[in-house]
């Protein structure tokens, strides 16, 4: 490869002249440009992380400043891992994670597949579908509580209208068996467009000649779908699942406004549980250990997943 | 593409696909339409059964949103002078009187200040850093995406514990400056990454030509690169703004009276005698509308922003 013009020019220019003409050197400019960003990221992303790890080995409580802070070793971690309540929280999170991913991938892919038929006006409909995703989850979650009201809520009315059930006979967020599904429905409503957009990009990246070649070889539409569409779109789908998985593992705003973790603790996802420990019970050291465990879990799972994703991409 | 292409869907397929997608779109916007409609209902209309689709619009929700009121007994009403303005009259009909403005305006203003402040900072710093990452050899360059992803893995509640302590030590808790700095840091990694993608797409030859013409590196940056990257910078800015605008977890934990933004405030709107859904809906409408407009403006760049540039199209 030929050297960039600038390097050739730079070499041909005498050093003293070059300095006079070009102001700051590239090296200096690079440092001036990058330093503030690095500084801010260190101060607000890295430093707190280290602090959290340090706190997780202590019995520190924010609401008791003057009490002695004692180093307690791994006791916080032991207590968390042996706490049955935490396992219940994890189960609620797993339920939420699995079903939201399941429905979002299913509906999102189906929508993308339909939109890819390039019918007239699909730009307008796509934009409408995408709207919920961009809105404030807390504000929208709060309003869904209104839609879920028995008797007066729109959701109950619509369900009642189509199934004949009495709209006052069930409460999506008040019933222990329905509440886990209430949050799945709202999250699916909100985030299906995300999966849809990524799938659509995947579908549009598949060149037409693959299908044309398959049609010449008389492969059925069904076979084309499984041997061309699915393998080609898999990396995109996996990427969508990665993003949604990370987001929903730390889900807080939508669910806390919708159900507040209730009824009982049926929808108390890990973030809501963590908030309770850290900012209501003020067990800072304990909550820090909890945070570290969550972070390591996501980090570990995501790393394994990214490896798998790269393998699929290379294939 | 020719009319006889094998891959082109048939007319009937298009029709079926179109109808299904339109149906889904209509279901999906129903809750949003309902928010806007509820904002224009009266209290009794909003909780009517069956839910009212046709109703006579009223600005009661908006009046309740912006004012605080107290309930009056009929004797008290008789001692008052007749209402002067249309909103006084509206409130008086409900046997209440306005005693002052509500905190909504101030919360909304906080959202605007913090949103635009942090957006400006993260785009400003982000553009500089992105240029350096794109054009120069900088340490840590290859780990950048991984770093960005990992900062997003930490649940905000977990990050809030040390930040809460740090802000208290620095005197930044419940201040606009603190929230601006926090949102800037959260947005910055996304901004740098998106902007680097945009700047990577600008051919280096433009700057090189400028450098040969005697521009300094800095002049080449702001006279040649910046105008070329304008679209990318604008769409990155909107993404940062939407994030800061929508953020809830940090806002609810780190702010209370002074710097609280609208998302933690709107759910706490309570009218005189029970939850006032029209007022909540009115607040939500005012709060969500700007983002809806931005989404429509942004739809071409949406994918790139929400996937951190992983999918560019």
**Largest pairwise CA distance in chain B:** 85
Dist. CA A229–CA A249, nearest whole Å: 29
**pLDDT, average across residues A119-137:** 88
Together in a domain, A95 and A32: no
Together in a domain, A252 and A138: yes
CATH of domain B105-268: 1.10.3720.10
Answer whether B31 sits within 8 Å of A143, measured CB to CB: yes
CA B153 to chain centre: 21
Q: Which of A56-60, A160-164, B137-141, B256-260 has the lowest mean pLDDT?
A: B137-141
Q: Is residue A106 part of a domain?
A: yes
Q: Is residue A210 part of a domain?
A: yes
Answer whether A49 sits within 8 Å of B132, measured CB to CB: no
Q: Is residue A214 part of a domain?
A: yes
Q: Which of A33, A135, A205 sits opposite B246 (nearest CB)?
A: A135
What confidence score (pLDDT) does residue A12 get? 55
Together in a domain, A34 and A148: no
Cβ of A154 under 8 Å from any chain B Cβ? yes
Together in a domain, A171 and A250: yes
Together in a domain, A108 and A25: no
Number of residues assigned to chain B = 313
Q: How many domains does chain A have?
A: 2
Q: Over 50: is that where the pLDDT of B75 sits? A: yes
Q: Which of B6, B24, B204 sits opposite A129 (nearest CB)?
A: B24
Average pLDDT value over all residues in chain B: 85
Q: Over 70: is that where the pLDDT of A223 sits? A: yes
- Percent over 70 (pLDDT), chain B: 92
Cβ of A274 under 8 Å from any chain B Cβ? yes
Q: Judge whether B38 and A146 are in contact, CB under 8 Å.
A: yes
β-sheet bridge partners, residue B100: B68
Average pLDDT value over all residues in chain A: 86
B44: Cβ contacts below 8 Å, ≥ 6 apart:
none
**pLDDT, average across residues A223-239:** 90
Phi-psi region of B100 (alpha: psi -120 to 50; beta: other; left: phi over 0): left
CA nearest A114 in B: which residue? Answer: B17
Question: With bands split at pLDDT 50, 70 and 90, how would you rate the model's confidence at A21?
Answer: very low
Q: Over 50: is that where the pLDDT of A302 sits? A: yes
What confidence score (pLDDT) does residue B47 get? 82
Q: Is residue A234 part of a domain?
A: yes
> CB atoms < 10 A from the CB of B215, how many?
19
Question: With bands split at pLDDT 50, 70 and 90, how would you rate the model's confidence at A16?
Answer: very low
Q: Over 80: is that where the pLDDT of B148 sits? A: no
What confidence score (pLDDT) does residue A132 get? 92
Answer whether B128 sits within 8 Å of A36, measured CB to CB: yes
Question: With bands split at pLDDT 50, 70 and 90, how would you rate the model's confidence at B40?
Answer: very high
Together in a domain, A175 and A246: yes
Together in a domain, A31 and A103: no
More confident residue, A44 or B19: B19
Q: Is residue A65 part of a domain?
A: no
**pLDDT, average across residues B175-193:** 90
Q: Is residue A71 part of a domain?
A: no
What is the nearest CA distance from B233 to chain A, expressed in angstroms?
A: 16
Cβ of A170 under 8 Å from any chain B Cβ? no
As for the ipTM of the complex, it is: 0.87
What confidence score (pLDDT) does residue A20 get? 46
Q: Over 60: is that where the pLDDT of B197 sits? A: yes
CA nearest A147 in B: which residue? Answer: B31
CA neighbours within 13 Å on the CB side: how many for A293? 21
Size of interface A-B (CB pairs under 8 A): 309
Q: Over 70: is that where the pLDDT of B7 sits? A: no
**pLDDT, average across residues A138-149:** 91
**pLDDT, average across residues A262-283:** 89
Q: Which of A90-104, A150-164, B259-273 has the lowest mean pLDDT?
A: B259-273
Give A39-90 pLDDT, tens digit per residue.
888 888 888 888 889 989 988 887 777 777 788 888 889 988 888 888 889 9
What confidence score (pLDDT) does residue B108 get? 93
> CB atoms < 10 A from the CB of A71, how many?
11
Phi, psi of B28 (to 5 degrees): -65, -35
A160: Cβ contacts below 8 Å, ≥ 6 apart:
A166, A167
**pLDDT, average across residues B194-223:** 87
Domain residue limits at A10: 5-55
Together in a domain, A100 and A45: no
More confident residue, B142 or A228: A228
Q: Over 90: is that where the pLDDT of B258 sits? A: no
Together in a domain, A21 and A84: no
What confidence score (pLDDT) does residue B27 get? 93
Q: Is residue A229 part of a domain?
A: yes
Chain A interface disruption, residue of B30, B122, B153, most A CBs within 10 A: B153
**pLDDT, average across residues B232-247:** 91
Look at the pTM and tell me if it is higher than 0.95: no
Q: Over 70: is that where the pLDDT of B25 sits? A: yes
Q: Over 60: is that where the pLDDT of A1 sits? A: no
Give the domain ranges of chain B.
Answer: 105-268
**pLDDT, average across residues B289-293:** 91
Question: With bands split at pLDDT 50, 70 and 90, how would you rate the model's confidence at B246?
Answer: very high
Question: With bands split at pLDDT 50, 70 and 90, how would you rate the model's confidence at B1?
Answer: very low
**pLDDT, average across residues B174-188:** 92
What confidence score (pLDDT) does residue A6 get? 56
More confident residue, B274 or A207: A207
- Percent over 70 (pLDDT), chain A: 93
**Three-state SS annotation for chain A:** CCCCHHHHHHHHCCHHHHHHHHCCCHHHHHHHHHHHHHHHHHHHHHHHHHHHHHHCCECCCCCCCCCCCCECCCHHHHHHHCCHHHHHHHHHHHHHHHHHHHHHHHHHHHHHHHHCCCCCCHHHHHHHHHHHHHCCHHHHHHHHHHHCCCCCCHHHHHHHHHHCCCCCCCCCCCCCCCHHHHHHHHHHHHHHHHHHHHHHHHHHHCCHHHHHHHHHCCCCHHHHHHHHHHHHHHHHHHHHHHHHHHHHHCCCHHHHHHCCCCCCCCCCCHHHHHHHHHHCCCCHHHHHHHHHHHHHHHHHHHHHHHHHHHHHHHC
**pLDDT, average across residues B246-252:** 92
**pLDDT, average across residues A186-199:** 94
Q: Using only the alpha carbons of chain A, give its radius of gyration.
A: 26
Query: What CATH number corresponds to the domain at position A261?
Result: 1.10.3720.10
Together in a domain, A94 and A235: yes
Q: Is residue A73 part of a domain?
A: no
A245: its two tokens? 């998985």
């Amino acid at each position: 490869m030929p050297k960039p013009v600038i390097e050739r020019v730079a070499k041909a220019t005498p050093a003293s002249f070059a300095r006079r003409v070009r102001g700051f050197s590239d090296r200096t400019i690079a440092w001036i440009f990058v330093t503030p960003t690095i500084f801010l990221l260190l101060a607000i992303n890295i430093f707190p992380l280290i602090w959290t790890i340090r706190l997780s080995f202590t019995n520190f409580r924010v609401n008791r400043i003057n009490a002695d802070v004692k180093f307690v070793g791994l006791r916080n971690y032991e207590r968390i891992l042996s706490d049955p309540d935490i396992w219940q929280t994890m189960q609620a999170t797993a339920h939420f994670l699995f079903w939201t991913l399941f429905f979002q991938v299913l509906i999102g892919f189906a929508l993308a597949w339909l939109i890819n038929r390039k019918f007239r006006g699909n730009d307008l409909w796509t934009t409408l579908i995408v709207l919920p995703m961009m809105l404030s989850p807390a504000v929208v979650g709060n309003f869904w509580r209104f839609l879920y009201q028995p008797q007066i809520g729109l959701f109950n009315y619509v369900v009642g209208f189509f199934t004949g059930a009495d709209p006052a006979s069930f409460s999506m967020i008040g019933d222990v068996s329905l509440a886990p599904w209430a949050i799945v429905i709202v999250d699916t409503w909100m985030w299906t467009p995300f999966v849809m957009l990524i799938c659509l990009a995947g579908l549009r990246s598949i060149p037409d000649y693959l299908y044309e070649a398959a049609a010449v070889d008389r492969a059925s539409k069904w076979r084309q779908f499984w041997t061309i569409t699915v393998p080609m779109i898999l990396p995109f789908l996996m990427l969508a699942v990665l993003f949604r998985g990370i987001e929903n593992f730390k889900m807080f705003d939508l669910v806390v406004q919708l159900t507040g973790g209730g009824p009982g603790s049926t929808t108390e996802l890990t973030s809501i549980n963590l908030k309770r420990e850290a900012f209501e019970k003020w067990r800072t050291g304990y909550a820090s250990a909890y945070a570290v465990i969550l972070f390591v879990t996501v980090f570990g799972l995501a790393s394994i997943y990214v490896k798998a994703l790269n393998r699929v991409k290379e294939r | 593409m020719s009319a006889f292409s094998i891959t082109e869907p048939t007319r009937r397929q298009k029709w079926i696909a179109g109808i299904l997608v339109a149906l889904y779109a209509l279901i999906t916007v129903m809750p949003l339409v309902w928010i806007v409609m509820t904002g224009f209902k009266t209290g009794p209309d909003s909780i009517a059964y069956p839910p009212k689709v046709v109703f006579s619009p009223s600005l009661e929700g908006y009046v309740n949103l912006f004012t605080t009121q107290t309930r009056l007994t009929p004797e008290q009403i008789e001692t008052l002078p007749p209402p002067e303005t249309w909103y006084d009259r509206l409130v008086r009909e409900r046997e209440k009187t306005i005693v002052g403005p509500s905190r909504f305006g101030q919360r909304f203003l906080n959202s605007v200040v913090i949103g635009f402040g942090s957006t400006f900072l993260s785009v400003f710093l982000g553009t500089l850093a992105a240029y350096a990452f794109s054009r120069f050899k900088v340490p840590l360059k290859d780990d950048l995406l991984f770093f960005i992803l990992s900062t997003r893995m930490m649940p905000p509640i977990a990050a809030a514990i040390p930040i809460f302590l740090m802000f208290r030590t620095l005197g930044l808790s419940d201040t606009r400056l603190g929230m601006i700095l926090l949102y800037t840091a959260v947005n910055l990694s996304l901004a740098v990454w998106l902007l680097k993608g945009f700047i990577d797409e600008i051919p280096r030859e433009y700057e090189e030509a400028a450098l040969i013409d005697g521009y300094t590196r800095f002049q080449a940056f702001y006279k040649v690169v910046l105008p070329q990257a304008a679209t990318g910078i604008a769409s990155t800015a909107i993404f940062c703004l939407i994030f800061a605008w929508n953020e809830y977890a940090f806002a609810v934990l780190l702010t209370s009276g002074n710097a609280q933004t609208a998302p933690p405030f709107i759910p706490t709107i309570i009218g005189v005698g029970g939850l006032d859904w029209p007022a909540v809906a009115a607040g939500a409408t005012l709060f969500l509308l700007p983002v809806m407009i931005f989404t429509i403006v942004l739809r071409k760049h949406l994918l790139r922003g929400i996937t951190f540039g992983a999918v560019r199209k």
